[in-house]
Amino acid sequence: MTSLVLSASRILLIIGGGVAAYKSLELIRRLRERGAQVRVVMTAAAQQFVSSLSAAALSGAAVRDDLFSLVEEAEMGHIELSRAADLIVVAPATADLLARMAQGIANDLASTTLLATDKRVLAAPAMNVRMWLHPATQRNVATLRADGVAFVGPDEGEMACGEFGPGRMAEPLAIVAAIERALTRSTIIPLSGGSPLSNGSPSRGPLTGKHVVVTAGPTFEPIDPVRFIGNRSSGLQGYALAEAAAAAGARVTLISGPVGLPDPPGASVIRVETARQMLAAALAALPADVFIGAAAVADWRVEAASDQKLKKDARGAPSLSLVENPDILAQIAATSPTRPRFVAGFAAETENVVENAKRKLSRKGCDLIVANSVADGSGVFGGADNEVHIVTASGVESWRRMSKPEVADKLIEFVAARMGSA
C-alpha cells in the first residue's frame, strides 16, 4: 500500500514516554508500508515502555536517544536529524514533552532536535484527562499552536488509569491521515517566530493576556449506539470566534461538539459529544476572562440510552423518556469565584428573535446575547453568513448580514471594548 503523498517522504518520529508509546510502533509500520522513510528518536522515558530494538526493526534505521553520543554528535547529529526530515511527528506527546517544547527547553536529544528544526511539527498528545485539561497544559498547547505546531487528537475514551475523557492518543491511522494532510502544504517553518514583529517586539492585540473559552457546534445525545438527538449546527460561527479571539491575542480554549472542521489557528481544542461532557470541559477550563457559549446544546437527552441498537419490530416505535440537559450558559454565568468577567451566549430562534433573546439574557444571567434567526430560509445553520442582534442590558444593536468570520471579528472587538471599560 503506497501513498503518493507519503512515498519517499522523510518522517522523524519522536516517541515520548507514556503508555501510548506502544501505538507508535504501529504508526511506524503504517508509515513504512505507505512508502515513507522513518527515523526515530526516543526519550529516556519512552524506553521504559517500548524498546529501541523494536522501533529500529520496524523503521529499518538505528534509533537515536543520546544527545551526547560521541559518534553522532561529533557531526552535530541533532542538527542533521532536525533538518533532514520533511516533517517531525511527536507521538505520544506527553504533558512533559509539550511543556518543554512550549518553553524552548533543550535538555535531551528529543527537545534539542525540536528546538533546532526548521520543519513543521505534528504532535499527538497522550496523557491523563486531568493533565490534558489542566490550565498549564492548555497554555502550553495554545503557545505551540501559535508557533505553528499542528495537533492530531487527543481522542476521548477510557484510559490506562481507569479514567474517561479526552487524553487518549489518536489511533495510528488517524495520525497517518494527519501526516498526509500536513505534507500537502509547505513544511518549512518561518523562523521569524510565527508572530508578526513590529519594532522587534511581538504584536499585541486587545485581548492579549486574557483567557477566552468558546463552545461551538452541536451536542449529540445518544439514543442507542448508532442514533442520537442533535441539531444542524455546523460549528462555523464558534470556530470563527475562537480564531478571532486568538488573533486578538487571547489564549483560547475551544470546546467543540462533533463537527468536521479543522482546528482554528491559535486555539486549543477540546472535543466532546454530549451536553454533560461540554459542561464538564467548560468548568475544567475555568478560570477564564471571557466565556462565549456559541454551541447549540441539545436541550434534552434520553433518560436511559440503550446500550444496544434498538431494533424495528412488531411492537412499533420505542417510547423515549426525555430529561433536561444541564444549562451550561446559566451555570457559567452564575455568580461564583470562577465566573468569567464577561459571559456571552447565543440565541438561535425561529420567531420573536429579539424578544426571546432579551428574556434569555435575564434568565441566564449573562452579559450579552447574540441573537439570530434559524427559521427556514435563513441559511444560518451550515451557511457561510449570519445576521445577528447584540442584546445587552443597555439595549439592542442589529448588525447587517455578513460572513461568519466578519461577525466573529466584530463581536470580539465588541467584547474587548467591554473588557477594557469594565
Q: Decide if 255 contacts 216 (C-beta within 8 A).
A: yes
Residue 101 placed within a domain: yes
**Residue 158 located in a structural domain:** yes
Specify the CATH number for the domain of residue 98.
Answer: 3.40.50.1950
Contact of 120 with 189, CB cutoff 8 Å: yes
**In this structure, what DSSP letter does residue 289 have?**
S
Residue 311 is assigned to a structural domain of this protein: no
In a domain, 115, yes or no: yes
In a domain, 50, yes or no: yes
Q: Are residues 94 and 124 in the same domain?
A: yes
> CATH number of the domain that 259 lies in?
3.40.50.10300
- Give the C-alpha separation, 168 to 312, whole Å: 35
373 and 239 fall within a common domain? yes
Residues 336 and 233 placed together within one structural domain of the fold = yes
Q: Is residue 188 part of a domain?
A: no
Q: Are residues 209 and 153 in the same domain?
A: no
Residue whose C-alpha is closest to residue 411's, from 374, 371, 364, 354:
371
Q: 154, 183, 212 — which closes off a domain?
A: 183
Query: Are residue 98 and residue 52 in the same domain, yes or no?
Result: yes
Number of folded domains in the chain?
Answer: 2
Q: What is the pLDDT of residue 239?
A: 92
Q: What is the pLDDT of residue 157?
A: 77
- Catalytic choice (62, 161, 323, 417): 161
Q: What is the pLDDT of residue 261?
A: 84
pLDDT for 382: 54
- 238 falls within a domain: yes
Residue 314 lies in a domain: no
- Domain span holding position 284: 203-302+320-421
Choosing from 124, 155, 183, the residue where a domain stops is: 183
Task: Find out whether 363 and 330 touch, Cβ atoms under 8 Å.
Answer: yes
Do 238 and 378 lie in one domain? The reply is: yes
pLDDT at 285: 93
User: Are 169 and 273 found together in one domain?
Assistant: no
Within this chain, do residues 359 and 228 fall inside the same structural domain, yes or no?
yes
pLDDT score at 76? 45
What is the SS3 assignment for 350? Answer: coil
293 grid coordinates: 457559549
Concerning whether 161 is annotated as a catalytic residue, the answer is: yes
Are 293 and 413 in a shared domain?
Answer: yes
Helix, strand, coil share (%) of the chain residues, nearest 5 = 35, 25, 45
Is residue 284 domain-shared with residue 380, that is, in the same domain? yes
| DSSP labels, 58-125 | HHTSPPB--TT-TTTGGGTHHHHHHHH-SEEEEEEE-HHHHHHHHHT---SHHHHHHHH--B-EEEEE
Domain finish residue from 183, 213, 246: 183
**Dihedral in degrees, nearest 10, Cα atoms 408, 411, 413, 415:** -130
Each of the 422 residues of the chain gets a pLDDT tens digit; together they read 555 578 778 999 999 999 999 999 999 999 999 988 999 999 999 999 999 999 999 999 989 987 765 445 444 455 667 677 889 999 999 999 999 999 999 888 999 989 888 888 999 999 988 899 899 999 998 888 878 888 888 888 777 667 777 888 989 998 988 888 778 665 566 544 444 333 333 345 789 889 999 999 999 999 999 999 988 888 989 998 998 898 888 999 999 999 988 888 788 999 999 999 999 999 999 999 999 999 999 999 998 888 888 888 877 888 888 999 999 999 999 988 889 999 999 988 878 888 899 999 989 999 999 998 876 555 555 567 788 999 999 999 999 888 888 889 999 999 999 887 55
**Residue among 247, 255, 267 nearest 416 (CA):** 247
What phi and psi values does residue 78 have, to the nearest 5 degrees? Answer: -70, -30
Are 390 and 277 in a shared domain? yes
The pLDDT of residue 358: 92
On whether the CB atoms of residues 91 and 27 are closer than 8 A, the answer is yes
Please check whether residues 276 and 172 belong to one and the same domain. Answer: no
